[in-house]
Every structure is written in C-alpha cells, then in structure tokens.
Amino acid sequence: MSRADRYLRACRKEGVDCTPLWIMRQAGRYLEEYRAVRARHSFIEVCKTPELVVEITLQPVRRFELDAAIIFADILLPLEKMGIDFEFTKDEGPQIHNTVRTRADVEKMRAISPREEMAYLMDAIRLVRRELNGQVPLIGFSGAPFTLASYITEGGGSRNYVFTKSLMYREPDAWHLLMEKLTDMVIVYLGAQIEAGVQAVQVFDSWVGCLSPADYREFVLPHQKRLMASLDPAVPHVHFAFGASHLLPLVAEAGGDVLGLDWRTDIGTAWKALDYAPAIQGNLDPVALYGSREYLKRRVTEILAGAENRSGHIFNLGHGILPNTPVDNVKYLIDLVHELSSRR
Amino acid sequence: MSRADRYLRACRKEGVDCTPLWIMRQAGRYLEEYRAVRARHSFIEVCKTPELVVEITLQPVRRFELDAAIIFADILLPLEKMGIDFEFTKDEGPQIHNTVRTRADVEKMRAISPREEMAYLMDAIRLVRRELNGQVPLIGFSGAPFTLASYITEGGGSRNYVFTKSLMYREPDAWHLLMEKLTDMVIVYLGAQIEAGVQAVQVFDSWVGCLSPADYREFVLPHQKRLMASLDPAVPHVHFAFGASHLLPLVAEAGGDVLGLDWRTDIGTAWKALDYAPAIQGNLDPVALYGSREYLKRRVTEILAGAENRSGHIFNLGHGILPNTPVDNVKYLIDLVHELSSRR
C-alpha cells in the first residue's frame, strides 16, 4: 500500500498499512515556497488563477509524505456569486461589505452555478488531479452553512456572534431561509467539485462551537443534516465542527462518513461514545508543533493509543497549522505518525 | 426569605424560596449610570478609587432585584504588584508591556501583600459591605492561575495561545514555577478579600478552555486543586472555567463548592454527571438577551427545567453581559427567573 490509498481507505474504515495523515491548511504561510508565491500575488489572485492554485496545492505534497492533497481555496469564494461583497484584508482576515442582517438581505441572495461561475476552481481541480497522477487523493471542501452565515451576518470574524444569534433569536424565519439558501449553495458547490474530480469532501463548521446544544438542534441540525444527506455518496464526506466537543452527538446525527475532532475532545472517549460508527479525523493541538520533540512524541503516542490502531483513523491537527510553525517539526510529526502506527 | 439569603444558601445547597440570580459583569457598560461614571474616569482610576468602586458595585443592585453584588475590580490588578506592567487600552483590552516567556522572567515575579499593596480594594470591600448593610451578599473574585498566566505570557488576549503553550510544552519546569507563584498570589489575594468582608469568592478561569483534557490534567489541575483547597472554608468557593465543557470532570476534581457553567454545557446533563455534588451556576448565553421575549422565556424555562428546582442552582449568564445588551430585557430576565422558580 502507498500514500495513494491510505486516506480514502481510512475514510471508509478499511484496513491500512499505517495511519494516514494530512494537515489542515497544509498549503500555507508556514512554508517558504508558499510565502514566495504570495509575495508576488494577493490571496484572491492566487485563488482565482488555476496555475497558482495547482502550485500551492502541490507544495506540501512535494515536500512531505502527506497522504492527501486539499485544493487551495477559501470558504468565502462561493459567496461572491451569491451577491456578497468581501475582501481579504492584510491583517484582519475577511471583511464583508454588505452584511446580511434582515429578511430583505437574505431574500436578495442569489443561487450560484459553480460549474460556470467558479470555473477557475473547477479548472484547478482538474489540473491538480492530472499533476497528482494518482500519487495522493485530492480533497475538496466548503464552509458549512452556519459558519458561512456567521461570516455574512457579522461581517467577518467574531467574538460573541451577536448579529448571527440576534437573527436566530429574533427572526427565526429569516434565519432558516438564510440557512436553506446556504445549504442549497453548498450542495451544488461540492457537487461541482466532485464532478471536477475531488475524491473526498470536507465541510468545515469552524464557528458553530459558539452555540448551545439546544440552539444547534433548533437552528443548525435540520440544515446540516439535509446537506450531508444530499452529497454524492460516491465520495467520502468529512464533517468537521471546530470547538464543538459539547455538540458531538448532534454533529454525528447531522452526518458524515468521517467526523473531524479538535484537541479538546479526547479521541478514545469520543470514538467510543460514537460506537466507532464514523471514521474519525484528528486531533493534535496545532500549538503542539511548537513544543519539544519529547512533548510532541508523547501527545502523538497518546492520540494513536486513543484510536487503538482501529481502521478509520485519519491523523490531522485539530485546527489549521499556524503561520510560524517550525517546519522541521512538521516533518518529524509526519514521519512519527507513520512509524508509530505502522501495522507491518 | 429575601435576597439577603438566597445566594449564599444556594451556594451551600440549602433550600431557597426561588432561584437566586446575579449577572457576570452586572456592573458594566450596558448601564447608562456606569457609562456616566466612566465618561469622567478611566477604568484604572475607577478601580483604584474606593468611592467609585462602591458606586459602580452598587449600581446594578439598586436598579434590579439581583441576589448578590460583586466587587468591581479587574483580574489583572494584583499582577501589578508582582512586577507586571500593563495598561487597559481603549479598544483592545489589556496590554502587558513586560511579557513573561522565560524562566528568568518567571523568577523575577514577586509575591504580593494585598492587605497593604491593594488597600484601595480592601477599603472598597469594607465600604460596600457597610453600604449594602446586609441587603445582598458581596462576592469577591480573582482570575485563576492559568488565565493570569495566559495574559502575561501572551501580553494580552489571544486566539491560539502560542506563547502560553510554548512555555508549557518546551519548559515545563518554568511553567510550573509560574503557576506556583500565581497560585500563591491568588491564595493571599482572596484571603485578604475575605478578611475585608466578601462573603463568597469566585475564581474565573476564563481562557482555560483552549487546553486539551491531557494538558489540563498535567499543567493546570495540580495548581488549581491546591488553590481551591487553600481557600478559607468559611465562605463558599465558586469555580468558573469558561468554554470548558470538555474539561468539566477535571474542573470538578480541582474543586469548588459551586461550579460555573457556560451555555455550551447542558445544565441538566452536566449536573447529573457531577452526581449533584457541587452547587451549579449558570448558564444562559449572554446573547439570548438580544433575542425576542418569546425566545428568552423559552431558554430560561429550559435552564430551570434542567436544574429541576433542586437546591443549589444559582442562575447566571454563561459569560459576562455584553455592552449593548437591551436593559429592558435584563429586568425581564431577573423577574422571570424569580417568578418561574418560585417555590411558594
């Protein structure tokens, strides 16, 4: 077996020779070759130029023995064609100029035709698949409806989600309409990515951890469930709700062949509580890569022990890798995971 | 029974006529009378002027039927006398000028004598007790060692806690020395507040939710346990770890007569999992106060139902009340909790 197969086999809970591993935001600022590209091109320019997307997507796969590539994109991109006007500021992350805070705002949002309107991404997916030539599988992704809703109601990142929750708590009908529109969008968006060639899809619900279980059940679950059930069953579906250990049974209920876990969740306890039904992905704290080798090895050993070498564990960080991460430790981590989990 | 008794009786799990309630950051920017004082005095000036502390501490207790007052202070204040140099900036919160990131930095930190060095606060406590004249009890508080450590290693608030965790993961001895010094400080600091007259103490571990259970057990639990065990048993100890539903069994192991819960934790499930041993405090999402009355009533009803009218529930928000909160809804909430939980 080689790195061509491990990730997809693990997604399906089939046996593997060692635990597959990829790293969230593996194509990113911690790599000097990424910074070199970004020195010449803005973030949005990179996203919309298929040749640059190919280059950046492949950088980490060339450098490290990673078991999957993930297409380089941003979760906000499809919102542009829904009528949301945003920019990526240098330091403060995404900034949305026409926030969505009323029913009228929601009604204005358009459906998208990603095959045509986001041809740059679909072209990039086809090019990456050709370049990869079967060496490792390619993952596509989207933001989850809640996380997208939180960006466009807040206007960017948020601490307390006052605008998002105010819409939920004061105008539940408008909220549900917003979630329906976003769910419809994610379904066609991931459908187009699958058609273009991605071999698995991951849905990132990065900010849903701000909700209580009762709110998740009422305002998110029906939409997330419909989304997960509507995706093409030919490719594995990964559902990653960040900071949501308190929502885990509900996230599992929403669906996903693979559930992503962050480091707050003890992987052994969580997988057992899920009756080992889904495959799981995670869950090293990205900051552990700043630690001593001794510390890093101890935590990796604990995570692998928690997963008990069962089929269906994909090693990953519990959140995106941070920009200043020491690159030597990334290589050390990848080799360590493969070595410690070797079934041969 | 009156609001003089409810809070302290509930802390001890004794019967009450209705569920007591106070609100984290109840003396704060959502009140126009608070903003009026702050228009004339800086935050730090208010903190260090006993007459202003008295005024601000009493404002919410005069306006609403709250069942406790909490002394107005900031968790960073005692750090000043340990040699930490900080200021409160207008928008970005606290900023620390001499961050603590090495063993040498930790060794320089001094022990404090809060009776003398923070006489302004002890005087304020005595004055508030006199003014309250037994009407409602007065709560004292401190930041927990981890949360204070995170501020002084990061230099302020943080998103990823890279400096805090780097110290933990690379120089565990220096980390433990830092936590020992902070634990010693919190013990004498709360001891002085109790001596001055506070009738309960709350320890805020506001940022500890960024840790995995394994890290909490190794790097925080021994210190937090020593702290909780060292506090004067004559007054109730409240232990509030925010965003830490994944750490709840460990937080309970660290101790506290009362555990604070945020809205991410289902109160009924959590209290049962704790065998109803501690009293509990919480746990409405502060943003629920921006919702419709119908929504607010539904959530309050659910929280009270979760607590099953057992002795030992103190109603509170799951985090500090937000600056723009509609004041009318605060009054509505307070009356609603008392009415719906009435045992008469």
Question: Domain coordinates of chain A in residue numbers?
Answer: 6-340
Span A252-266, average pLDDT: 97
**Of these residues, A5, A29, A285, A290, which one is catalytic?**
A29
In the structure, what pLDDT confidence band is assigned to residue A19 with cuts at 50, 70 and 90?
Answer: very high
- Closest to B291 (Cβ–Cβ): which among A170, A212, A296? A170
Give residue B2's pLDDT.
82
In degrees and rounded to multiples of 5, residue B311 shows phi and psi of: -70, 135
Contact criterion met (CB < 8 Å) for A290 and B169: yes
Note if the pTM is more than 0.90: yes
Q: Which of A7, A34, A151, A216 is catalytic?
A: A151
Q: Could you give the angle at the alpha carbon of A289 between the alpha carbons of A46 and A89, nearest 5°?
A: 30
Q: Does the pLDDT of residue B305 top 90, yes or no?
A: yes
Question: How close A78 comes to chain B (CA, Å)?
Answer: 26
| Residues in A touching B173 (Cβ below 8 Å) | none
What is the bridge-based pairing of β-strands B86-89 and B93-96? Answer: antiparallel
Q: Write down the residue that tokens 């232990």 correspond to.
A: B239
Cβ contact (<8 Å) for A162 and B324? yes
Mean pLDDT of chain B: 97
Model confidence pLDDT, tens digit, residues B26-82: 999 999 999 999 999 999 999 999 999 999 999 999 999 999 999 999 999 999 999
Mutate to test the interface with A, among B91, B285, B292, B296 (most CBs of A within 10 A): B285
Residue B96: alpha-carbon gap to chain centroid: 21
Share of chain B above pLDDT 70, in %: 100
Long-range pairs, B4-8, Cβ under 8 A, ≥24: B4/B134, B4/B135, B4/B136, B4/B137, B6/B67, B7/B67, B7/B68, B7/B136, B7/B137, B7/B200, B7/B314, B8/B137, B8/B199, B8/B200, B8/B236
Residues of B in contact with A246 (CB under 8 A): 245-246, 264-266
Which positions in chain B touch A324 (Cβ < 8 Å)? 162
pLDDT the model gives residue B92: 72
Report the gap between the CA of A266 and the closest CA in chain B (Å): 7
Q: Does the distance separating the beta carbons of A266 and B295 come in below 8 Å?
A: no
Amino acid A343: pLDDT: 81
Q: Is A161 a catalytic residue?
A: no
Q: Which of A160, A162, A302 sits opposite B214 (nearest CB)?
A: A302
A6-340 maps to which CATH number? 3.20.20.210
Q: Is B90's pLDDT higher than 90?
A: no
Q: Are B290 and B326 in contact (CB under 8 A)?
A: yes
Phi, psi of A67 (to 5 degrees): -100, 5
One of A5, A17, A63, A74 is an active-site residue; which one? A74
- What's the whole-number mean pLDDT along residues A70-85? 97
pLDDT at residue number B28: 96
What is the distance between the alpha carbons of residues B205 and B143, in angstroms, rounded to a whole number?
Answer: 6
Active site residue A120: no
Residues of B near A (CB-CB distance < 8 A)? 160-162, 165-166, 168-170, 172, 209, 211-215, 245-246, 263-266, 285-288, 290-292, 295-296, 299, 302, 322, 324
Cβ distance B265 to A246 less than 8 Å, yes or no, reads yes
**Residue A1, pLDDT above cutoff 80:** no
Tell me which residue in A246, A292, A302 faces B169 most closely, judged by beta carbons: A292
Q: Looking at beta carbons, which residues of chain A come within 8 Å of B301?
A: none
Percent of chain B with pLDDT over 90: 97
> Using one digit for the tens of pLDDT, what is the confidence trace for A44-76?
999 999 999 999 999 999 999 999 999 999 999
Task: Report the distance separating Cα A166 and Cα A153, nearest Å.
Answer: 10
Instruction: Quote the pLDDT of residue B263.
Output: 98
- Cα–Cα nearest to B171, from B183, B179, B160: B179
What is the Cα–Cα distance from A60 to A31, expressed in whole angstroms? 8
B242 contact residues in A (CB cutoff 8 A): none
Residue B343 clears pLDDT 90, i.e. is over it: no
The pLDDT of residue B89:
86
Return the SS3 of A257: coil
- In single-letter form, the type of residue at position B185 comes to M
A343 is catalytic: no
